[in-house]
């Protein structure tokens, strides 16, 4: 006789009473606390506590914690076996459950960004609400549209403290200057209107809050909008990456784009710029482009085109996104697929994008008529490609090295999706060229290369592909990452040896680790330069016979030749022929010795501009006779002078405009005499130095440089007092 088993439901398969209602209540609670968070952020600039503590600055953290608490409960419950009865025999895949946790993690990042923004806003180091030159231009559209129904921005710019004065100085011919595209304001508009509704409600309840449409609560609502649309954009970007990559790869690549790029600044410090909205628009385009690529309907083509049009409204440089629908036609042709419907869809997408962009064209026409809107001039024939990628002046790779992998990763992406890899390569190249062709390629006041924030979604596939490749590579060849760690630790120890050898750190005293790490970084940089500026700085070092570190300043300063440096700040401007050791200069109280009969200095210039160049120089103590020195600018003689022993000479050179060129210029100094100078501590017979080595190297010296000044020659004399002028060149 055998026992028979009966099917008995396990506790996990039994429905919890009112489970469906509990889940709905959790969804409703999340929506409630999200709305309360918006209200708290909007009123954060007005009061610490408002509406009994439900609103105001102090409520931001409280609502964030409550929202996160409800969200984690909801995520856990939906992923647990307890919710199986609600699925009606539909089995959820592990991927669906993993995606829920990813969305929760992204929500936490969003909440952290919001709290960092509000906290820094209340501190002393924040930039302030809608300050500067560009932010007010984007923000002014909202009040002008909703309250004034016009495109005259004088009252808006005057209402924002300090902006009208700034615009009057920058654009005296037209202080109501506004060339900002309208797309950022379009994205902000729902949040702005919600903020206005909240202000009207609070005012009706008797609270003293502004309802004028321009005050800080409205700006805070727009800033919340910037953070929110980036949150949505990250969800879309993650879904796009999941097309080719596993959950972890897509998740970490998205986090890197969010937290290790210039984007973070434009969420926590300057959310009133256009870059957050630019990122969202580009992420939306990428997501729509990847959806149903093989069988996209006419409505899908139209929506894709409208999204590209929105991106162009935010930043017109997004016009390069039109490559995507066009590329679909080309790829279909190369794959020998029927291109009839695809070509028609691409035409529809391009047409939809142009229709949406007509809103911007209409705005420009109403503002400027048939004249093109003012803006930064373009240099299409001379794009600053090297500078925009590698320069220390906001270079894309130099300041945010993770973005290098967005470009390099196209190679491993090719193996997964060749057509997509080609499109990403074309888009990135087009964006680099377009932004490099802007005369002010460095982006003015900028955190990193800010104009590439909207390009981040198209770097993310490369970052993910490189990460997946690197992990697989490391698993197969674990000795290589181990060797890299050993090399880094060895380099650190070598820099530590140099610190003690050259006197950066003291043998007999405790040395703060801040000094140790900063000194090691200085020694490493002086030797190798910034690795994330390779190969541009290596080529510069080879071409000019200097350290790669000097590329940072020599090729990274904006087109403004005004300069006044002395002491260790002189080092980046020293070309061939100088003793450049910072430690050595400190022993000479901040002077750098010229070692070669021809020694060069780097100065920046604008073609056709004349300059005054001031030099503070003296002779080594061992040189007891006059030193003749001649000067040449870009190889052309411009004068000569005589340095006398025992005194510091203040010299001024006049550089005519016909000798200057855009960018880097060289000032050559030709010395008649040089001496062999003993190094510090090498004097024979000096007590305390032990046995003297007769073979100890001496160093040559022609003169000492103490200070370098450059000023534009406006024809009104030298801007500094000088003891002597250079003799005119007789040759």
| Dist. CA 631–CA 520, nearest whole Å | 36
Coil, helix or strand at residue 652 = strand
| pTM, 2 dp | 0.87
Paired tokens of 8: 């008995």
Say what the pLDDT of residue 596 is: 92
Q: In which band, very low, low, confident or very high, does the pLDDT at 429 lie, cut at 50, 70 and 90?
A: very high
> Quick one: residue 52, left, alpha or beta (phi over 0 = left, psi -120 to 50 = alpha)?
left
Residue 504 phi, psi dihedral angles, 5° rounding: -65, -35
What percentage of the chain carries pLDDT values higher than 90?
A: 59
* H helix or E strand, kind and range, residue 676: strand 675-677
More confident call, 560 vs 306:
306
How many H helices and E strands in the chain? Answer: 25, 11
Q: In which band, very low, low, confident or very high, does the pLDDT at 433 lie, cut at 50, 70 and 90?
A: very high
Q: Where are the domains of the chain?
A: 11-94, 135-468, 479-522, 559-681+694-712
Say what the pLDDT of residue 123 is: 58
Q: Which CATH architecture has domain 559-681+694-712?
A: Sandwich (2.60)
* Continuous H helices in 122-161: 135-143, 154-159
Q: What is the mean pLDDT of residues 289-313?
A: 93
Average pLDDT score, the chain: 88
Q: In which band, very low, low, confident or very high, does the pLDDT at 505 lie, cut at 50, 70 and 90?
A: confident
Quick one: which of 680, 621, 673 has its CA closest to 642?
673
Listed range (229-243, 398-412, 532-546, 577-591) with the worst mean pLDDT: 577-591
* H helix or E strand, kind and range, residue 65: helix 57-79
pLDDT in tens, 671-704: 999 888 765 544 444 445 567 667 767 778 899 9
What's the DSSP call for residue 147?
Answer: I
Q: In which band, very low, low, confident or very high, does the pLDDT at 560 lie, cut at 50, 70 and 90?
A: low
Q: Which long-range contacts (CB under 8 A, 24 or more apart) does 14-22 make?
A: 14/85, 15/85, 15/86, 16/82, 19/82, 19/83, 19/85, 19/86, 20/86, 22/77
Q: Which residues of 510-538 are buried (b: 16+ CB within 10 A; e: fewer)?
A: eeeeeebeebbebbbebebbbebbbebbe
Residue 662 has pLDDT above 90, yes or no: no
Coil, helix or strand at residue 711 = strand
Paired tokens of 667: 């000032």
Please say whether the beta carbons of 633 and 655 come within 8 A: yes
Say what the pLDDT of residue 15 is: 57
pLDDT in tens, 128-182: 678 888 999 999 999 999 999 999 999 999 998 888 988 888 888 887 888 899 9
Q: In which band, very low, low, confident or very high, does the pLDDT at 344 lie, cut at 50, 70 and 90?
A: very high
> Strands, E, within 209-345: which ranges?
none
Say what the pLDDT of residue 5 is: 45
**Strand order across the 663-671 sheet:** 598-605, 663-671, 627-633, 636-643
Say what the pLDDT of residue 21 is: 87
| Dist. CA 536–CA 438, nearest whole Å | 20
Say what the pLDDT of residue 62 is: 95
Would you tell me how many other CB atoms lie within 10 Å of the CB of residue 610? 16
Helices 247-259, 456-476: crossing angle, 10 deg rounding: 130
pLDDT in tens, 42-56: 999 898 998 888 999
């Amino acid at each position: 006789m055998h026992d028979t088993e009966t099917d008995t439901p396990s506790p996990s398969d039994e429905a919890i009473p009112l489970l469906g209602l509990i889940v709905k209540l959790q969804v409703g609670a999340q929506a409630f606390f999200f709305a309360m968070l918006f209200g708290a952020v909007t009123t954060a600039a007005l009061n610490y506590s408002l509406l009994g503590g439900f609103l105001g600055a102090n409520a931001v953290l409280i609502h964030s914690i409550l929202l996160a608490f409800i969200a984690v409960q909801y995520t856990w419950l939906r992923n647990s076996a307890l919710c199986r009865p609600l699925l009606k025999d539909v089995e959820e895949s592990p991927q669906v459950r993993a995606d829920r946790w990813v969305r929760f993690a992204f929500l936490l990042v969003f909440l952290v960004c919001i709290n960092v923004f509000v906290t820094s806003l209340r501190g002393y180091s924040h930039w302030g609400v809608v300050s500067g030159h560009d932010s007010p231009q984007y923000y002014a559209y909202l009040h002008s549209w909703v309250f004034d129904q016009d495109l005259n921005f004088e009252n808006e710019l005057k209402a924002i403290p300090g902006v009208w004065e700034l615009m009057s100085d920058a654009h005296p011919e037209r202080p109501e200057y506004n060339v900002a595209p309208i797309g950022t304001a379009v994205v902000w508009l729902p949040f702005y209107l919600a903020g206005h509704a909240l202000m009207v409600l609070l005012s009706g309840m008797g609270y003293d809050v502004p309802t004028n449409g321009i005050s800080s609560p409205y700006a805070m609502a727009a800033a919340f909008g910037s953070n929110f649309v980036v949150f949505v954009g990250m969800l879309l970007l993650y879904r796009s990456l999941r097309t080719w990559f596993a959950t972890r790869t897509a998740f970490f690549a998205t986090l890197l784009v969010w937290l290790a790029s210039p984007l973070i600044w434009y969420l926590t410090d300057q959310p009133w710029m256009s870059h957050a909205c630019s990122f969202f628009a580009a992420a939306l385009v990428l997501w729509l482009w990847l959806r149903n690529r093989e069988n996209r309907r006419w409505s899908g083509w139209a929506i894709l085109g409208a999204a590209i049009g929105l991106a162009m409204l935010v930043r017109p440089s997004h016009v390069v996104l039109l490559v995507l629908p066009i590329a679909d036609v080309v790829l279909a042709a190369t794959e020998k697929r029927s291109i009839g419907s695809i070509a028609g869809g691409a035409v529809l997408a391009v047409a939809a994008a142009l229709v949406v962009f007509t809103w911007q064209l209409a705005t420009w026409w109403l503002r400027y008529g048939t004249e093109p809107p003012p803006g930064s001039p373009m240099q299409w024939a001379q794009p600053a490609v090297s500078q925009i990628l590698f320069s220390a002046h906001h270079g894309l790779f130099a300041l945010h090295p993770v973005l290098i992998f967005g470009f390099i990763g196209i190679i491993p992406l090719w193996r997964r999706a060749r057509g997509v890899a080609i499109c990403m390569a074309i888009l990135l190249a087009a964006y680099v060229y377009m932004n490099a062709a802007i005369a002010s390629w460095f982006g003015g006041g900028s955190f990193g290369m800010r104009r590439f924030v909207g390009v981040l979604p198209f770097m993310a596939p490369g970052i993910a592909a490189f990460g997946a490749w690197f992990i697989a590579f490391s698993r197969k060849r674990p000795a290589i990452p181990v060797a890299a760690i050993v090399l880094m630790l060895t380099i650190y120890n070598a820099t530590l040896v140099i610190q003690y050898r050259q006197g950066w750190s003291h043998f007999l005293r405790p040395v703060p680790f801040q000094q140790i790490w900063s000194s090691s970084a200085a020694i490493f940089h002086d030797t190798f330069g910034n690795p994330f500026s390779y190969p541009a700085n290596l080529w510069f070092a080879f071409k000019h016979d200097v350290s790669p570190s000097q590329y940072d300043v020599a090729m990274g300063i904006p087109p403004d030749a005004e300069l006044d440096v002395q002491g260790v700040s002189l080092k980046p401007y020293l070309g061939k022929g100088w003793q450049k050791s910072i430690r050595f200069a400190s022993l000479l109280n901040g002077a750098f010795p010229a070692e070669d009969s021809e020694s060069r200095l780097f100065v920046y210039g604008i073609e056709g501009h004349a300059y005054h160049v001031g030099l503070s120089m003296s002779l080594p103590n061992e040189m007891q006779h006059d030193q003749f020195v001649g000067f040449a600018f870009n190889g052309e003689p411009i004068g000569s002078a005589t340095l006398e022993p025992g005194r510091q000479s203040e010299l001024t050179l006049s550089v005519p405009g016909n000798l200057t060129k855009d960018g880097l210029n060289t000032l050559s100094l030709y010395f008649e005499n040089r001496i062999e100078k003993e190094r510090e501590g090498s004097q024979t017979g000096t007590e305390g130095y032990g046995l003297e080595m007769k073979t100890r190297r001496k160093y040559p010296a022609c003169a000492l440089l103490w200070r370098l000044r450059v000023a534009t020659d406006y024809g009104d004399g030298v801007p500094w007092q000088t003891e002597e002028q250079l003799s005119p060149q007789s040759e």
